[in-house]
Structure 1
Amino acid sequence: MRCAVIRFVAFEDLGVWEPEIAAHGYEILSLDVGVDDLAPAVDAELMIVLGAPIDAGDSSRYPVLSEVTDLVSARLQTGRPMIGVCLGAQIMAIALGATVERGEREVGFAPVVLAEPAHDSPLRHLGSAPTLHWHRDVVTLPDGATSLASTATTPHQAFAYRSSLAIQFHPEADPEAFERWLIGHSGDLESWGLDPRELRSAALEHGDEAAIAGILLIREYLRGLGSLT
């Protein structure tokens, strides 16, 4: 089995999910947007589209976004499972005919509020655990999708569509590699008026709990896929 990973920037990777995915028998195929041929991802048993510090609708400045959106749309038509994280979730929403709009910026560790359907989904492992947020855009809910989580400023922090998941936050983030996030986003943090020292301290305080919840989430999701085969 193959898990094709669509990656935009190196420091936003599979994180704590990678060992769990490999342990479930998947060969991980990492494909870098704008560098690699992404076509093999369509037929992989699982596809994951990760995040990046660009806007999902900004294809005029980043034409590769159109390529990824077309790829996600083709994947959704196959019915094969996919996970979109942050930018990946926003691209999934667009591919399903929904929209992405500006909201209030959420950066740091905080819990999400689970919707009733989430209690019977892999997201139930989040409970009240903190998870990493790093976004400003919000999505409208696509037709046929089920909203799974929210925060006060983001109505649809996660949604399910058939066997696929879209997640606006970052349950995959590895707190042991969080420094790469702070360095990679240094320009943004400065422009947003956020102190990396405070985020670093928050990662030390909440990172282990967030990582455990993220691992349990992906584990249950993968086991659910196994029950379908």
Structure 2
Amino acid sequence: MHLHLLQHCPHQGPARLADWLTSMGHSHTVFYLHAGELTPRLADCDALVVLDGPLAIDDAAALSWLRQERKLIERALDSSKPLLGIGFGARLIAEALGAVVARGTMAETGWHRVDLAPLSPVDLPDTFEAFMWHRDVFALPDYALALGRSEASPLQGFTWDDGRVVALLCHLEATAASVTALLDHQPAPLGSDTSPHAQDSAAMLDDPKRFDRLAPLLDRVLSQWLRSTAS
């Protein structure tokens, strides 16, 4: 399969996701929308991934490239092709499906426990630890199934259309390098300085094995996602 990946910031890229695609024999092209690259044609890929970014839904409403990206996401939703969103990408998908996207009560950064939803179709443990970097959250779209929740965020993701569409608020693709890039170049989400759910930088990087434990979780999600439309 060939996948198109939409990137919104130089320091929030695909991280381990790109390595997984290569290891599984899939090709991919990253489109750097923040750098002025045009949104690709859906017809030129087999699946679409919308990555995270520092933008908020409302803050970016005037950007011409984001308007084009929204149209691409709508076309992907109307198609039969797999669509995955992470962070900001997940919020764009939720918005396109008519769900409310808004600023959450508190920022959530660092490592936090996720409890899998009872009816979640995603093959993940009942509880697992994932990396977080957000303040904005979304509601569950109509006809979607919740993935799970954390203490600060009642919805950490969802699937839609029998698993063809997956939206993740949490970051299973995170690596030590990608988190270091975030900490070095991106301001923390608004309210992180007062949130009880925001870790300090040292705590985010103090246990390298945390990143290793994410790898099989990412594998489960991506494998199930791409199998969802396999003939």
Alignment TM-score > 0.5, same fold: yes
% identical equivalent positions:
22
1:221 is aligned to 2:220 = no
1:135-214 to 2 correspondences below 5 Å: 135-162=134-161, 163-185=164-186, 187-188=187-188, 192-193=192-193, 195-201=200-206, 203-204=207-208, 206-214=210-218
User: Aligned with 1:138: secondary structure?
Assistant: strand
Q: Which residue of 1 aligns with 2:24?
A: 24
CA distance in 1, matches of 2:160, 2:189: 33
| Letter of the 2:52 counterpart | G
1:132 maps to what in 2? Answer: 131
Q: TM-score, normalised by structure 2?
A: 0.86
Aligned AA (2:96): A
- Residue 42 of structure 1, CA deviation: 5.3
Q: Deviations over 1:6-61 (max 9, x none)?
A: 00113222221222222333210110114212132455111000001110232345
- From the superposition, tell whether residues 13 and 190 of structure 1 become closer, same or farther in structure 2 (CA, over 3 Å): same
Structure 1 residue 150: Cα displacement: 1.2
Asked if the contact 1:172–1:211 (Cα under 8 Å) also holds between the matched residues in 2, the reply is: yes
After superposition, the C-alpha distances for 1:115-166 in whole angstroms (9 at most, x for unaligned) are 1222x423x1x54331101111111111121111112332221111111100
Deviations 1:171-190, CA, capped at 9 Å, x for gaps: 111224421121122x3379
Secondary structure, aligned partner of 1:79: coil
AA matched with 2:151? A
Query: Which one has the bigger helix percentage?
Result: 1
> Alpha-carbon deviation of 1:100?
0.5
Which amino acid in the other structure matches residue 20 of structure 2? E
Shift of the 39–17 alpha-carbon distance from structure 1 to 2, 3 Å rule, reads closer
CA, structure 1 residues 83+158, in 2 after alignment: closer, same or farther (shift >3 Å)? same
> In structure 1, what is the Cα distance between the partners aligned to 2:53 and 2:11?
9
Does the 8 Å contact 2:172/2:217 carry over to 1? yes
Secondary structure, aligned partner of 1:4: strand
Within 5 Å, give how 1:4-153 maps onto structure 2: 4-34=4-34, 35-41=36-42, 43-60=44-61, 62-103=63-104, 104-118=106-120, 120-122=121-123, 124=124, 126-153=125-152
TM-score norm. by structure 1 comes to: 0.86
Change (3 A) 1:147 1:191: closer
Q: Gapped runs of 5+ residues in structure 2?
A: 194-198
CA distance in 1 between counterparts of 2:189 and 2:31 reads: 27
Amino acid at match of 1:22: T
Give the Cα separation in 1 of the matches to 2:62 and 2:53: 14
- Listed as ranges, the gaps of 5+ residues in structure 1 are none
- Aligned to 1:30, what secondary structure does the other structure show? strand
Stretches (4+) displaced over 4 A: none
